[in-house]
Amino acid sequence: MARILITRPEEDAASFAEILTGLGHDVRLEPLLSVRLREDAELDMAGAQALLFTSANGVRAAARLTGERGLPALCVGDATARAARDAGFTKVESASGDVRGLAALIRGTCRPDAGPLVHVAGTFQTGDLAGDLTASGFAVKRAVVYEAAAAERFSDETQAALTARRIDVVTLFSPRTARTFARIVQQAGLESMLDTVDLLCLSAAVAEALDALPRRRLLVAAEPTQTALIDLIR
């Protein structure tokens, strides 16, 4: 059994925590990003041929802004695709990977002359999906409809657990979450408490944000999926 700290936003963390608990691990939730719909959020889908989702947060935001569920929902990974199906979208495809994989999926399933693509996004993004697709002749509308505020500190419970070395594993899913984790650790003076902690990262970009931190091991999933991260834990 490992004592695992999950740093994902609360809505994303729930199912992940359930899986890890089912595998016999002791799980603690410490969301380092708080996601909220922007007050000025709008979703213009006029003439669109597909919706592009690079996170489950985008799916949830779109579901709140529109009742449209018939447009193709092209998703960066399986967890995002699962969120789209749960939200009622009926034509869901997953790139099972990263933004480059999603761009390849779009080029294989959409036509530049069939209408614009609507990328439902947050204020922060990884990669340049719109630039990649524009270079291939597509028109892309980036709808920035949600924002994710970074935490300023750990909860008292997590601070105490790290101080007492009661955390074995920290899971990190995005570069921004990793940067937030590193900043809070350094501000709290907890670096020396990480020498018995494994930092498990969804991608090399996530791991890069943690280079300056002490740790027992810094491990990267074989592919950028939740399943691959769970394989690391196993």
Residue type, 184: I
Residue 211 CB coordination number (10 Å): 9
pLDDT at 15: 87
Q: Which of 211, 200, 214 is nearest to 16 (CA)?
A: 200
Residue 73 · residue 170 · CB < 8 Å: no
**Residue 123 main-chain phi, psi, to 5 deg:** -70, -25
Start-end of CATH 3.40.50.10090 domains in the chain: 41-148
Residue type, 154: F
pLDDT at 124: 81
Looking at CATH, the fold of the domain delimited by 41-148 is given as: Rossmann fold (3.40.50)
Strands in the chain per DSSP E? 3-6, 26-29, 33-37, 50-53, 73-75, 92-94, 117-122, 140-150, 169-172, 198-201, 217-220
pLDDT along the chain (234 residues), means of 10: 95 91 97 92 94 94 95 93 96 91 95 97 85 95 94 97 97 95 97 97 94 95 90 92
Sign of CA dihedral 27, 183, 83, 67: positive
**Residue 73 main-chain phi, psi, to 5 deg:** -110, 105
pTM of the model: 0.82
* Residue 65, both tokens: 């802004």
pLDDT at 97: 78
pLDDT at 96: 86
pLDDT at 225: 85
